[in-house]
Structure 1
Amino acid sequence: MKLTLTAALLAGSALATAATACETTLRSSDTHPDGYPTVIAVQEMGKLLEERTDGRLCIEVFPSAQLGEEKDTIEQTQFGVIDMLRVSMGPFNNIIEETQVVSLPYIFRSVDHMHKVMDGPIGDEILEAFSDHDLVGLAFYDGGSRSFYNSEKPITSMEDLAGMKFRVMQSDIFVDMVSALGANATPLPYGEVYSSIQTGVIDGAENNWPSYESSGHFEVAKYYTLDEHLIVPEVLVMSKSTWDGLSAEDQEIVRQAAKDSVPMMRELWAEREKESEAKVIEAGAEVVTDIDKTPFIEAMKPVYEKHVTSDTLKDLVERIQATE
């Protein structure tokens, strides 16, 4: 599916107007700004829903954390206050056991490996796990590879991380990952990262190219190291109470529309990654690309030992690692 960012943005604008004519408009939250690939993808899903339900269902996306930061919007979606949510996997780690596996450092060998896993039966199993928590898992989006960035110095080895303070998502796995590397983890909402780096509360954070750029973090933390410690998919979920209010026919239409939005999201994501990388480098960010990941990978053994304890998780790890 070919769709430029400009065309997608125009489509999103048209959807916002069209949504007012729908019988039911689903409210969807995203922490990222308007124009971000995940936001555009859910807007595209809304267009598919409107077409396939003859105007019974539409989606209005609230970007830029207008409805709250991710942890808060998860709770709101569970209670049915928000109908849909695109959210990072990390905040679910302490809620849904199965999400911990795909949040493990270096569990995926590449983005292609992640796609093969999440598009197959393992991905379906993880989506199904949301049903026990008043949520319905619909689809997985890309979150790119996450790397460290900071305001102090270029990080060229694990030793450079010693004693530094990094923001992480509110997930025990991410806290333990940073600790295993010799740094100090500070769980913070995404919206507080810029000011926290600016004021010296933290030295930096870790994220993908588009988030590093769109958040403006590159302005206050110009050193970016491509250690690619995480390739964590993001997830699109619906409130179970909203889901239960739909007919069986509309439930199937919603699920398929979510799946159909994934290829476009991935294409937009790949395009946006290149644009974001070019933008931050042009702005003066210093990127470290030549780094030996082996010590980073070996340092994760205690993280796996601590968090991969149940038979369910051990089985998932083995099957993911065996996926070619």
Structure 2
Amino acid sequence: MKFSLTAALGATAVILASAFGAQAQTALKWAHVYETSEPFHTESVWAAKEIEKRTNGRYKIDVFPASQLGKEADLNQGLKLGTVDLIISGSSFAAREYAPIGVTYYPYTFRSPEHLIAYTKSDVFKRLAAGYEKASGNHITAVTYYGTRHTTSNRPISKCADLAGLKMRVPDVPAYLAMPRACGANTTPIAFAEVYLALQNGTVEAQENPLTTIEAKKFYEVQKHIVLTGHIVDHLNTLVSKSLWAKLSDEDKAIFTQVTQEAAERSTKIIEEREKGLVATFKEKGISVTEVDKADFEANVREKVALKDFGYKQEDWEAIRAIK
């Protein structure tokens, strides 16, 4: 009887412990629009597992790639609605909540990926990120180098004026329009997931993205020319929703921040390495890859598109340019 009672109590304790453990685990959704082959996904998966491990299983994070939970605008809205907990998204979308943070998308702001990374550690970044958090409630935990944006086209381009009249896909974000419009292109906003088909069927004749994205999305299959305009040194933010960030303890906030920053560093390194060899790779595929007079492009942007047109501040831009 004594043995039976002890066994029963032991079994009950195990059941209660299991139930408590199940209740203690929080399921989270992490979403983005990138392909499973890209480091933005592979390193997000790594980070999700690492957070689960470092929090002793208290958080179980499922990562949804390739627009499975919606387009980038939908994912940003999802942070507000609570339908998604973490996302990877550009400051161009964050600028819809707080315009000044989008200044990094003004063409030819950054000199290099190194300049971009230095910015993410600067006081001006901290100030802009704080402004975004105050406006949206969402918290930026990390920044990843996305790649330097170049142009692909069905016709040769060597100077800004060569874009005149060209039907060009540009993301539905004001800052991305600056360079194409300064050069006279006819810009068309098309969702990221639909760009390949739009290029293939001639809805648009050109688009702009980093070399790694041109490879991952196979845009080179439906474009004849890759033009190294290098107009934006781009980046992605890792964003935690207002509701989730408010629930995290200080210890868990530190874990989420540390892990996502490690993932961002890993992704950045992969992107930089891939970019180095892609020009040769594209040439081997028979694609025309050409340099352009960047000074000509930059001069047209400065003359025809003002920072204030996008809600950016001259002092923020100058502070970023001054970073060494």
The bucket for the TM-score relative to the shorter chain is 0.7 to 0.9
User: Is 1:314 paired with 2:317?
Assistant: no
Report SS of the residue matched to 2:316: helix
State the Cα distance separating 1:22 from its structure 2 match. Answer: 8.9
RMSD: 2.1
Question: Structure 1 CA distance, aligned partners of 2:37 and 2:307?
Answer: 40
Show the 5 A alignment for 1:1-324.
23-131=25-133, 132-150=135-153, 152-274=154-276, 276-289=278-291, 291-301=292-302, 302-307=304-309, 313-324=313-324
TM-score (structure 2 length as normaliser): 0.87
Q: Percent identity?
A: 28
State the Cα distance separating 1:278 from its structure 2 match. Answer: 4.5
Range 81-90 or range 203-212, more displaced? 81-90
Q: In structure 1, what residue type is equivalent to 2:150? A: S
Go from structure 1 to structure 2 and tell me whether the alpha carbon gap of 1:149 and 1:118 turns closer, same or farther (over 3 Å shift). Answer: same
Q: Deviations over 1:275-317 (max 9, x none)?
A: 544443332221012x21111011112323443666xx22211
Q: In structure 1, what residue type is equivalent to 2:197? A: S
Report SS of the residue matched to 2:306: helix
Report SS of the residue matched to 1:144: strand
Partner of 2:16: none
In the alignment, structure 1 segments of 5+ residues that lack a partner are 1-19
Question: Structure 2 CA distance, aligned partners of 1:268 and 1:34?
Answer: 14
Q: Deviations over 1:19-40 (max 9, x none)?
A: x999223211111111211112
User: For the Cα contact (< 8 Å) 1:90–1:170, is it kept in 2?
Assistant: no
Question: Structure 2 CA distance, aligned partners of 1:83 and 1:119?
Answer: 24
Q: In structure 2, what residue type is equivalent to 1:292? A: D
State the Cα distance separating 1:248 from its structure 2 match. Answer: 2.6
Question: Structure 1 CA distance, aligned partners of 2:98 and 2:157?
Answer: 33
State the Cα distance separating 1:321 from its structure 2 match. Answer: 1.2
TM-score (structure 1 length as normaliser): 0.87
User: For the Cα contact (< 8 Å) 1:148–1:225, is it kept in 2?
Assistant: yes
State the Cα distance separating 1:210 from its structure 2 match. Answer: 1.1
Q: In structure 2, what residue type is equivalent to 1:323? A: I
Question: Structure 2 CA distance, aligned partners of 1:284 and 1:91?
Answer: 35
Go from structure 1 to structure 2 and tell me whether the alpha carbon gap of 1:172 and 1:240 turns closer, same or farther (over 3 Å shift). Answer: same
In the alignment, structure 2 segments of 5+ residues that lack a partner are 1-21
Question: Structure 2 CA distance, aligned partners of 1:215 and 1:308?
Answer: 29
